[in-house]
Amino acid sequence: MSAEKYNVLEPYALRVESQYPYETLRGQSHVTEEFPVIPDIPDDLMSASDEHEAFTPAERERLYSSQDGDPMSGYPYNSAIRKGMLYEQRAAERLAVTGLQRLPDDVLTTLRTQKLLKGVTVRTSLEAISGLVDGSAALLLKQETEQPIGAYKLRGAYNMMRKLTDEQRARGVITASTGNHARAVAMSGELLGVSVTVVMPYGTPEVKILGAKELHANVVMHGENFDEAKAHCQELRAQSEGLTYVPPYDHEDIITGQGTIGAEILQQLEEGNIPYNQESTYVFVPVGGAGLIAGIARYVKQVRPHVQVIGVEPENCDAFARSLEAGQRVTLDTVDPFADGVAVRRVGELSFRIARAYVDGVVRVGNREISSAMVDLDAQGMRTEPAGALALAGVRAFIERTGKSGVFVAIRSGQNVDDTKMHRAVELANS
């Protein structure tokens, strides 16, 4: 298998001082200094129920004091803006110890989002699993199936919807989805008191349709694939009175929410004393519209540049890899619906711009490889949908094609699969 099959990008490079982190700076050397993975910021700074307990006595004194030139003087002590400023100030203080000037804005925003999602999303396990990869490789599964909806999508959807204005909440939201994003938007709507309409294509697994309906979403079935469902969604939105569209991947708040997975992974590696300060550490991410990999790669590559972030796509649904090869977004004529969670003809504009600057490579795998990963996970008590098993399939293919070893993190992104598709996976794995 040629190198181009699994690596379609030039080596990642980024200058810390660059004002435009989305630009891929070809030919530059890797960043030599590293940011602290876990800034020493108390958990109560952003999330205490009693506002008075959200600050130390010294911070509270600063809040009440009037300082010349302080644009926030006179604001109430529990101002969300003020809390954000203190959060960044504490991070900067910790960075001063390392000799660095500041954390990148994207990293700070992701860390702040991680705290704001606490209590809505779950800090999912990073679990060492044996018997699923050959050789001396260490496999760690990031178990996003532990989220309340059984998939990672809640992180991004809630992060965007929590910012809706009162007027937007009153009018409601609309989205298009092949399943897990629909459930994420529906659950966010339940939590925030927002009505939700979801357009889903025919052929969406019944378990995902029922999951959205159980969360009181108005489900509209239309089209043969995601793109046709999205087009109808936009038609309905145009006919409505101010419905807000919640995209599944191509929005800054969605991407940042998904990026909290990257923050958790690095934090958990450090907490577990897992050696990963070398180029033999990999994070494998399933790719559909590229929102998930954009968020994860943007965080990971700015905090630990040596960690390799690798995307994984089905061979017959590889819009991201083809777009990277072409240097611009490519629209596929058709997509294979087997891995329905990543079955998109065209990646997002913003998600592609971010991802292409940070991602190290892409692995393409066939449905048989995906099915084999699904069956082997199921044998260990982990029911997994095709897109959820995609990263593991990518790890296996990468090891087989390159002979490389090291620490491999695979995102197990979703578990919502019905018996019909699981039976199909068993047939493919044994074919």
Q: Is 194 exposed, middle or buried (0-12, 13-18, 19+ CB in 10 A)?
A: buried
Neighbours of 98 (CB within 10 A): 11
Angle, CA of 10, 12 and 15, to the nearest 5°: 130
Encode 279-288: b = buried (16+ Cβ within 10 Å), e = exposed. Answer: ebbbbbbbbb
CA distances from 222 to 174, 194, 260 (A): 14, 23, 32
Catalytic residue of the set 208, 351, 413, 421? 413
* Eight-class DSSP state of 418: -
How far is the C-alpha of 184 from the C-alpha of 32, rounded, in Å?
38
Active-site residue 413, yes or no? yes
Taking the C-alpha atoms of 257, 259, 265 and 267 in order, what is their torsion angle to the nearest 10 degrees? -80
Structure tokens given for 48? 């205490």
How far is the C-alpha of 426 from the C-alpha of 374, rounded, in Å?
8
Closest CA to 76 of 93, 91, 54: 54
Q: Is 123 exposed, middle or buried (0-12, 13-18, 19+ CB in 10 A)?
A: middle
Angle, CA of 50, 55 and 59, to the nearest 5°: 150
Angle, CA of 7, 11 and 15, to the nearest 5°: 150
Active-site residue 351, yes or no? no
Largest Cα separation within the chain, whole Å, is: 74
Contact between 213 and 179 under an 8 Å Cβ cutoff? The reply is no
- Output the 3-class SS for 237-255: HHHCCCCEECCCCCCHHHH
Encode 3-30: b = buried (16+ Cβ within 10 Å), e = exposed. Answer: eeebbbbeebbbeeeeeebeebeeeeee
Catalytic residue of the set 83, 153, 230, 301? 153
How far is the C-alpha of 399 from the C-alpha of 394, rounded, in Å?
9
How far is the C-alpha of 261 from the C-alpha of 265, rounded, in Å?
6
* Residues carrying an active site annotation: 153, 413
